[in-house]
Structures are given as C-alpha cells and as structure tokens.
Amino acid sequence: MKRIENAFEHLLFSSRWLMAPIYLGLVLAMVVLLVKFAKEIFGLVDHIMTATGSEMIIGVLSLVDIALIMNLLIIIMFSGYENFVSKMDDLHGHQDRPEWMGHIGFSDLKIKLIGSIVAISGIELLKAFMNVEHTTGEINHQRLGWMVGIHVTFLFSGVMYALMDRLGGKGH
C-alpha cells in the first residue's frame, strides 16, 4: 500500500510540469502585446501632427497600459514558475536577474496582481475621462459610472487583500 501511496505522490508532484506550457503561453501573449504596442506607437507617430492633446495623452496611456500588463505577466511567469514548477537555479548568478526573483511568494503575488489590476483599471478609467467630451448620452455616462464602480471595487479588494495579508502576519 505504501508503494501505491508513493507512486501517487510522485504523480501529483510531477503534475506541476503541466503548468509549464501555460507559462510558455504567457510568453506568446507578451509577443502579441508587443505587436499591439508597435501598432499603437506607429499610430501615435502617424497622427502626431493631427492629433489633439487629449488624443496623444490617450495614446500614451494605452502604451503605459500595455507596459503594465507585460510587467505583470513577467512577475506572474517568473514567480509562478519558481513557486509551482521548478527553481531557476542556473540564473542565480546572472547579472540581469531581478532582485525580487525567488522571493515572491503566493501571497506577495496576489498583492502584486491586484495592485497591477488597480493600476490598469485606473489607466482605463483615466482614458475614459479623457474621452468624456466625445461620449454623450445616458448609456455612455452609465458606462462611465460602471467603470468607476468597478475601479472602486478593485481598489477596495486590493486594500482588503493587503489588510488580510498584514493580519495574517505576512505583511512587511
């Protein structure tokens, strides 16, 4: 019976490698976002003389939004892989290895994730406010209200996650 238990435990432990293709998929998602970033920046440069100030700001905010999402993907890929699949031992001496790599636990990852979601939501909300002059009618203002409500919900969730983390004794 102990042999069956050991075999089952090894199977469970080995199943962590099923996550590896997921992290590879996130790398591909970053490539897609890079293409989207290039499209946005070329569109911005193409309309540099004809765009209004608010259109330029919205374009730059879109670039910042993509950068935040890509940063979030890097954090998720590195910390998720190291926490759940395998340690990246060969990279410990690499000069470009991020300082936080190997030190972000699951709780820290949740806090960084919700923080990034709040930042991304805030940028989307700011873009909507910058575009408010082009949005008339009850439906568009109702959409803006929903966006504010969702952003406040994300913000409240982030504060609650951080509070729970601190109460759990894991806060720094």
The predicted pLDDT at position 33 comes to 97
At 5, the amino acid letter reads: E
Contact 45, 95 (CB under 8 A): no
The predicted pLDDT at position 75 comes to 85
4: helix, strand or coil: helix
- Say how many residues make up the chain: 172
The predicted pLDDT at position 8 comes to 94
Contact 77, 23 (CB under 8 A): yes
CA angle, 89 then 28 then 21, to 5° = 55
Domain assignments of the chain as residue spans, ordered by start: 19-167
Chain Cα centroid distance, residue 28: 15
**Structure token pair of residue 47:** 């309309």
Residue 52 DSSP one-character state: -
The predicted pLDDT at position 90 comes to 73
The predicted pLDDT at position 162 comes to 84
Contact 66, 37 (CB under 8 A): yes
Rank 129-133, 139-143, 161-165 by mean pLDDT and report only the highest.
Answer: 161-165
Distance between start and end Cα atoms, the chain: 45
Q: What does 38-69 look like in DSSP terms, one character per residue?
A: HHHHHHHHHTTTT--HHHHHHHHHHHHHHHHH
Taking only the tens place, the pLDDT of each residue in 10-69 is: 999 999 999 999 999 999 999 999 999 999 999 999 988 888 888 888 889 899 989 989
